[in-house]
C-alpha cells in the first residue's frame, strides 16, 4: 500500500465519524482531539486501545480496525475490511453478540460489555469493559457501530 492506512481520505473521514459519534453519545472524547483530522486519524489508528467498526449492511462488514485491533484479530487491513463482523465471534457466541448490538442500537451505546471473541487463527480471547456505540453521519444518518476496549485476555 503506497500510503499508510490512516492517511487515506476515506479513513480520515471515517475516523471523524468514530470520534464525533463517541463524543456525542458518551459526552467525553474517545481520545484527545488535537491537530488536524489527519493527525487525529493517526492518533486513533495508533491509540493504546482497540477501536473497530462495521457498516450498516444486512450482514455488516468490518470497515475499520486500528493497529491494536489488527494485531489482536491477527488480520491485515485487507483481510479486516472484507470480514463480516459476526465472524469475530465463534458461532456459539454470535447470538449474545447480536443481542449486544441490538441493545446498543436501541440505547445509543452500551458501556458494560464482556464477551469472547476469536482471531483469524482461532485464538480465543475475553474482552472486558467494552463500549459499543452507534455511528452517525453529518446529517444524523446511521453509519454503523463501533467498539472500543482496553482489557482482554487470551483463553487458549
Give the domain CATH number at 50. 3.30.450.20
Q: Which residues of the chain have pLDDT under 50?
A: 1-2
Number of structural domains (the chain) is: 1
Range of the domain at 18: 5-154
Contacts of residue 70, Cβ cutoff 8 Å, sequence gap at least 6: 76, 77, 80
* pLDDT of 90: 83
Residue 39's pLDDT is what?
Answer: 97
pLDDT at 156: 65
The H or E element that residue 23 is part of is helix 9-26
Q: How many helices (H) and strands (E) does the chain have?
A: 5, 6
pLDDT of residue 125: 96
pLDDT at position 1 is: 45
Q: How much is the pLDDT for 2?
A: 46
- What is the Cα gyration radius of the chain? 15
pLDDT at 97: 82
Amino acid at each position: 500500500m503506497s500510503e499508510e492506512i490512516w492517511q487515506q481520505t476515506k479513513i480520515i473521514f471515517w475516523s471523524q465519524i468514530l470520534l464525533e459519534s463517541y463524543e456525542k453519545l458518551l459526552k467525553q472524547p474517545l481520545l484527545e482531539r488535537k491537530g488536524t483530522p489527519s493527525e487525529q486519524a493517526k492518533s486513533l489508528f495508533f491509540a493504546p486501545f482497540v477501536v473497530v467498526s462495521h457498516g450498516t449492511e444486512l450482514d455488516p462488514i468490518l470497515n475499520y480496525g486500528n493497529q491494536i485491533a489488527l494485531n489482536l484479530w491477527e488480520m491485515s487491513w485487507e483481510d479486516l475490511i472484507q470480514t463480516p463482523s459476526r465472524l469475530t465471534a465463534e458461532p456459539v457466541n454470535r447470538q449474545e453478540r447480536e443481542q449486544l448490538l441490538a441493545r446498543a442500537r436501541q440505547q445509543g451505546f452500551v458501556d458494560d460489555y464482556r464477551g469472547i471473541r476469536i482471531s483469524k487463527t482461532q485464538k480465543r480471547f475475553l474482552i472486558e469493559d467494552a463500549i459499543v456505540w452507534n455511528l452517525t453521519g453529518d446529517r444524523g444518518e446511521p453509519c454503523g457501530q463501533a467498539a472500543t476496549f482496553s482489557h482482554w485476555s487470551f483463553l487458549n
